[in-house]
Structure 1
């Protein structure tokens, strides 16, 4: 059943950095099955591919924290929008019953709330619609000769060792490194309207190997820049996000507590 503004739904256009061709169909890729992994060209990840308007480029949308996705046929917008411009093709839907339903499912079965972190996106093509519930989205140009290869220079990718690092030793004797994104503040803020942008990366050096352990991310929602401190596997290490560009010293207590826990587990395992 269609949702509209009278049901509390508000569909707002998102200014996308790429414009989809107004006639060509998209291609939605979902799932983790490797069909042809022999040549390394089939590394599955969810993505939406589209022809870029007035060019021969292949556009791609990748997702941050994708929860659900669906596609439909139709030439007419399935939702009312509060303002329509001919070039609009990406929308954020606030007050979505689909998002509420997914939130209730995830909360009931996995204790994972979605309402504060996820958004309902809609991508409009000539006679098709693709919708997604995700934490964020990112636009880039894919290589037509190898379209399913992982994106390069993606904001969710770990900072490389080319980025300068400061090295520290914790009170428990663990060595760790701090890297700051080489991108400018304005570039990070601009990108954060689409998905999270890594501001600082904390690497833990164990057994001589340096690997990402936690990061400070920024994300702009409704015009407000927020920072969060999260572990790369277990989620947020702080109680909640901070407004603005957070600095590493604002999460010193959480980081040192985490390091002490790692050191304690290594001692019990007989590692030094």
Structure 2
């Protein structure tokens, strides 16, 4: 299809009611699309690193799609060769450059972000984000916190160990889900594998996060600092032993800074 815009359908486990309209909420962590599902439950779509959103009336997609009669009907799409995504990238690069909000590197908008379309009966919602996730419940999810296990949440202390270097201890919080499941889920948004929380004055604060990405079945693992900047990229899934030397560097820097102020 050359450089023409077109939409590729993607399958997620829930589908909206075929007639009812969604509710769109823009409110920090709870920004999302809220809707009733086809089986009379309630769904929510949330966005990882949301860059832009727009809502339009209409029953038809704004571009051609890849649907054929032998394919399952989809209501979620990824737009290939998106002009809007290039427009947003150009804007962010011009005004923010290396100060880009999500990790500091505006070029991530071209490599990691996607242009999504969510199609409902009489309207469609378009989003540019690093990823999306869905939830479903028997009751409405409007104004409700993200459900337990949501990939946007910090890892809990359900599976935690301690690591010591340079006289300091750090928590290693490990995602309890199987690696194969995390790899599959990473098709939709980055999945946390580890989080490190250095303990200072009896308080543990998360300073590094290790996430898995799955782009067209190419698996990468990223070590990111407190503000989300990508520090190291591994091909595939690294062992914990391969990650720890980079954590050592951070702990040593903290130890040296604290020596100077004591």
Q: What is aligned with 2:26?
A: 30
Structure 2 runs not aligned, ≥5 long? 98-105
Matching residue of 1:49: 34
Distance 1:75 1:105, change over 3 A: same
Q: Is the 8 A contact 2:131 2:190 kept in 1?
A: yes
Structure 2 matches for 1:81-160, cutoff 5 A?
81-84=65-68, 85=71, 87-111=73-97, 112-113=106-107, 114-142=109-137, 144=139, 147-152=142-147, 153-160=149-156
Q: Output one character per residue of 1:220-269: Cα deviation in whole Å (capped at 9) or x when no partner.
A: 1112221111123242222xx32221222223332222222222222233
Distance 1:235 1:143, change over 3 A: farther
Residue 196 (structure 1) aligned with residue 190 (structure 2): yes
**Aligned 8 A contact 1:142 1:151 in 2:** no
CA distance in 1, matches of 2:31, 2:138: 16
Give the distance between the partners of 1:101 and 1:56, measured in 2 at CA: 38
- What secondary structure, in the 3-state scheme, does the structure 2 residue paired with 1:249 have? helix
- CA deviation profile, 1:39-74 (whole Å, cap 9, x unmatched): xxxxx6211111111x22110001100000000001
- What's the counterpart of residue 244 of structure 2? 252
Q: Name which of structure 1's ranges 152-161 and 250-259 shifts more when overlaid on structure 2.
A: 250-259
Corresponding position: 1:76 with 2:76: no
Give 3-state SS (helix, strand or coil) of 1:115's partner.
Answer: helix
Q: Distance in 2 between matches of 1:265 and 1:8?
A: 53
Give per-residue Cα distances to partners, 1:69-124, cap 9 Å, x unaligned: 00000112211012244621000012101101111111222222211121000000
- Aligned positions, number: 250
Higher strand share: 2
For the aligned residue pairs, the C-alpha RMSD in angstroms reads 1.9
Say whether the 8 Å CA contact 2:85–2:115 is kept in structure 1: yes
Q: In structure 1, what is the equivalent of residue 42 of structure 2?
A: 58
Deviations 1:181-214 (A, max 9, x none): 1111222122111111111121211111122221
Deviation at 1:31, TM superposition (A): 3.7
Q: Give the whole-Å Cα distance in 2 for the aligned partners of 1:19 and 1:214.
A: 35
Distance in 2, matches of 1:143 and 1:263, equals: 49
Provide Cα deviations, 1:146-185, integer angstroms capped at 9, x if missing partner: 621221221121121222x221221x32211212211112
C-alpha distance in structure 2 between counterparts of 1:160 and 1:24, whole Å: 36
Q: How far has the Cα of 1:6 moved from its partner?
A: 6.3
Contact 1:49 1:61 survives alignment (8 Å):
yes
Counterpart Cα distance in 2 of 1:92 and 1:229? 26
Partner of 1:17: 13
SS at match of 1:237: strand
Cα displacement (A) at 1:143: 6.2
> Aligned equivalents of 2:157 and 2:136: distance in 1?
25
SS at match of 1:133: strand
Say if 1:86 and 1:251 are closer, same or farther in 2 by CA, change over 3 A. Answer: closer
TM-score by length of 2: 0.88
Partners of 2:141 and 2:16 in 1: how far apart? 20
